[in-house]
Amino acid sequence: MSNRTFTMIKPDAVKAGNIGNILQMINAGGFRIVAMKYLSLSKQQAEKFYEVHAARPFYGELTEFMSSGPIVAAILEKENAVADFRTLIGATNPAQAAEGTIRKKYAASIGENAVHGSDSDENAEIEGNFFFSGLERA
Ligand code: CMP
């Protein structure tokens, strides 16, 4: 079990002015921010990040959306980080997300679902490396 996960605050939540609210929930959930940046992904960069989903029917929509505006990318630290963060954000589809979760509060749809959270320790490492150099996540 690793103690780090990776997250993005997605373009819908940034546009809606929810960066502060979401970071507050992340801190209140006991996560420490190890590294963080505010940036926009190009379509090509979004395609690269989500390439594991390339065969999915929603890949075009997903990468279009993720490159539609600025995001916040961050590496988070906590014991049992991957599983605990997925609990904090709630189900991918906000209609199924539990009360009190980030997606229940701030997500509008399965596509525009406010936040990303890594689904495994291995992907947390790969995704963190996509955005941050070794120097940036000391
Ligand atoms: P995320 O955790 O960032 O990882 C993959 C993303 O694909 C997921 O969040 C959703 O936003 C998106 N996604 C999953 N299923 C669908 C779907 N049926 N339609 C549109 N987007 C989807």
CATH number at residue 10: 3.30.70.141
Which ligand 1 atom sits closest to the C-alpha of 119?
A: 2
User: DSSP 3-state assignment of 37?
Assistant: strand
Residues with CB under 6 A from ligand 1: 53, 58, 61-62, 92, 110-111, 113, 116
pLDDT in tens, 79-127: 999 999 999 999 999 999 999 999 999 999 999 999 999 999 999 999 9
50 C-alpha to ligand 1 centroid (Å): 10
Active site residue 116: yes
Burial 4-43 (b: 16+ CB within 10 A, else e): bbbbbbbbbbbeeebeeebbebbeeeebeebbbeeeebee
112 C-alpha to ligand 1 centroid (Å): 8
Closest CA to 29 of 95, 93, 74, 92: 74
Neighbours of 91 (CB within 10 A): 16
Closest CA to 11 of 57, 73, 59, 54: 73
Q: Which residues pair with 63 in a beta bridge?
A: none
Which of 50, 72, 110, 127 maximizes ligand 1 atoms within 8 Å of its Cβ, making it the mutation to test the pocket?
Answer: 110
62 C-alpha to ligand 1 centroid (Å): 7
Whether 130 has a pLDDT exceeding 90, the answer reads yes
Catalytic-labelled residue, pool 116, 127, 128, 131? 116
R_g of the chain computed on alpha carbons:
14
Range of the domain at 99: 4-136
Separation between Cα atoms, residue 33 and residue 68, nearest integer Å: 25
pLDDT in tens, 50-90: 999 999 999 999 999 999 999 999 999 999 999 999 999 99
Number of domains in the chain: 1
Query: pTM for the complete prediction?
Result: 0.96
55 C-alpha to ligand 1 centroid (Å): 13
> In the structure encoding, which two tokens stand for residue 20, read together?
């502060």
